[in-house]
Structure 1
Amino acid sequence: MTRKLLVEVAGVVCAPVEQVWTAVLGDAPDHPMRTERGDHTVAYQGGWWYRGEWSVTPHAEGSTLLHRVYCVAGPYWAVALANKGFAGFGRRTRRSFAEGLAGIGERLGCATRLVQR
């Protein structure tokens, strides 16, 4: 599969991996997408170019939640052209991730913070 990383964002959730993993699975997309699951990883692929991968790993403060978005259609230049060069996509993705991270923290009753990558 051809894929190009468009954006990567991460955060720390001050809760155990299993609790965060359960919360991540509860936030699944509400539209039809192909889903692939691994050990504390999940990928959602849909539309004609989108693939979002999520993973939860141990961190000294609890867990790290990592989200990566890939373009899986090619050629990339054509996808970028059709999507206006993905202008603002990274910013919107980071904002949405930050909101979701805060929501997980609220549901689990713990602190969260974004990590610069």
Structure 2
Amino acid sequence: MTAKKPLCTVNAVVEAPCGVVAALLTTVSAGPVGPHNGFFLAHGTDPDLRLRGGPNEFWAAIAGNLNGIRVEVDRAQAMLAVEGKWWFRAECRVLPHPKGARMTQQVFNIATSARWMVPMVARGVEGKQRGSMQRLLDRISGHLGCPAYLE
């Protein structure tokens, strides 16, 4: 990702070893999404969700769109990115923290045309991302049996 200013940044702490959290989020392979593959997507809204591609770039069909979202994984950097719609890219990094791991999620405008429209369609994106991150933290907490919370 080029060095652009994010639309928003959300930080969280997971009180588990950084490597454990990074592995949970970056364990991604082609096949069905579940608690041991694409954990960040396994939230129950589409029990038949499947990832295709690999080893570092994947696609998942959303609402009948075969190329609904693009997932990029950089395991060495403990980074996961999700792109969707025509403008949205969220990057999540797992970094060391004194209590375990810090997750930092940033949202970027990647529109190649009509960039001027993004501020209108992205209204409220920070609140939505905080809600999305909290739901992911709740699932991580339940899965790993540790505290996980927004900063």
The TM-score by the shorter chain falls in which range?
0.7 to 0.9
Identity percentage over the alignment? 29
What whole-Å deviation, never above 9, does each CA across 1:35-74 have from its counterpart, x for those lacking one? 2425111222232111110100111000001111111115
Question: Matched residues in 2 for 1:53 and 1:93: separation?
Answer: 11
Q: Normalized per residue, which structure has more helix?
A: 1
Q: In the alignment, does 2:133 pair up with 1:97?
A: yes
TM-score under structure 2 length normalisation = 0.64
Question: Matched residues in 2 for 1:11 and 1:53: separation?
Answer: 14
Q: Which runs of 5+ in 2 are unaligned?
A: 27-37, 42-48, 50-59, 61-68
Q: In the alignment, does 2:70 pair up with 1:33?
A: yes
Q: Which runs of 5+ in 1 are unaligned?
A: none
| 1:1-117 correspondence runs (5 A) | 3-25=4-26, 26-29=38-41, 31=60, 32-37=69-74, 38-73=76-111, 74=113, 76-81=115-120, 83=121, 86-115=122-151
Query: 4+ residue stretches of structure 1 with deviation over 6 A?
Result: none
Total equivalences in the alignment: 112
Q: Helix, strand or coil: the match of 2:6?
A: strand
* 1:27 aligned partner, one-letter code: F
Q: Is the 8 A contact 1:105 1:111 kept in 2?
A: yes
Q: Is the 8 A contact 1:3 1:72 kept in 2?
A: no
Between 1:97-106 and 1:24-33, the stretch displaced more is 24-33
TM-score under structure 1 length normalisation = 0.81
Question: Matched residues in 1 for 2:142 and 2:3: separation?
Answer: 37
Q: Say what the alpha-carbon RMSD is for the aligned residues.
A: 2.1
Question: Matched residues in 1 for 2:3 and 2:84: separation?
Answer: 15
Which protein has greater RCO, CA pairs closer than 8 Å, 6+ apart?
1
